[in-house]
Amino acid sequence: MATRPTWQGYLRLSLVSCPVALYTATQRTSDVSFNMLHKQTNNRIRMIPTDPETGPVDRSDIVKGYEVEKGHYVVVTDEEIKNVRLETTRTLDIERFVDEDDIDRLYWNDPYFLTPDGDMAVEAFTVIRQAMEKAGKVALGRLVMHQRERLMALEPRGKGILAYSLRSNREVRDASDVFDRIPAHKAPAAMVEIAAKIIDQQSGPFDPSKFNDRYEDALRALIKEKQKGHGIKKVEEPKEAEVIDLMEALKRSLGGGERRKTPARKAATPAKKPAARKAPAKKRA
């Protein structure tokens, strides 16, 4: 768990409240990141704030401004921003309880761990968590984090609470804006049936360990080779998929799915089927 909380305040359910701390539930420490270097010296480049008219600017002379129209800004000081305080700045107030399925997946955003902040908070925190667990509902509340009020969805997880920030209604686009461009089409039932069988063959439990970032792994391998002084071979561009008969592609995929799923029957069942299909074709020829 992160040593420093992302947010600290109070969790409140009606008249019951307790100090809590919010920690990010994910991390990006494994990401490969690159620095900008000078091509000849390999010295790291420093980005210097620059005014297009007067040149380099001291950071103490930089202020915040909101663009109200092209080239026109309203300047706001840090003190003025601090004075915009909501009750949710320090309190995560539970406002409503809903079923998890009622929240569209489009709205789910970043996950956090919510814990009691100090021994004195454990009792009240546990009462709220266990009551939520008994109700089987997701709690909705608001807090101010990173200078924005965010809607949070809370659900019990182990001895703590899993909290998800939810996107606001303004952030979520209407799916019909994009999906309405798709022409109406009814797929042939036979094709859908084969595709459903392919899905069934490839179905299984979710194992996050199987879904590593292969691009990240490839970058790390490249860096290791460069450290050894090895050259890197250019990777050939993937060939475009051939335009083939859709039904035939589905049938081939179905056979391939069987071989991947049940390698023990590879010689017995899938290997004989292609031969059986080819034999009648020769007779008709």
Q: Please state whether beta strands 72-76 and 55-56 pair in parallel, antiparallel, or not at all (unpaired).
A: unpaired
* CB contact at 8 A, 41 and 175: no
Distance CA 195, CA 20 (A): 49
Distance CA 204, CA 201 (A): 9
End-to-end CA distance of the chain: 69
Distance CA 24, CA 251 (A): 46
User: Kind and range of the H or E element at 160?
Assistant: strand 160-166
* CB contact at 8 A, 39 and 55: no
Which residue ranges form the domains of the chain, and what is each CATH number? 7-26+87-166 (2.40.290.10)
pLDDT at 282: 40
Q: What angle do CA 67, 68, 70 make, to 5 degrees?
A: 70
pLDDT at 43: 92
Write the pLDDT tens digit of every residue in 75-111.
Answer: 888 888 777 766 667 889 999 999 999 999 999 999 9
The candidate with the shortest Cα–Cα distance to 153, out of 142, 145, 144, 278, is 142
* CB contact at 8 A, 4 and 18: no
Distance CA 163, CA 114 (A): 6
Residues in the chain where the model's pLDDT stays below 50: 1-2, 257-285
Give 9's strand partners: 20
Give 141's strand partners: 94, 152
- DSSP letter string, 97-113: EE-GGGS-GGGEEEEEE
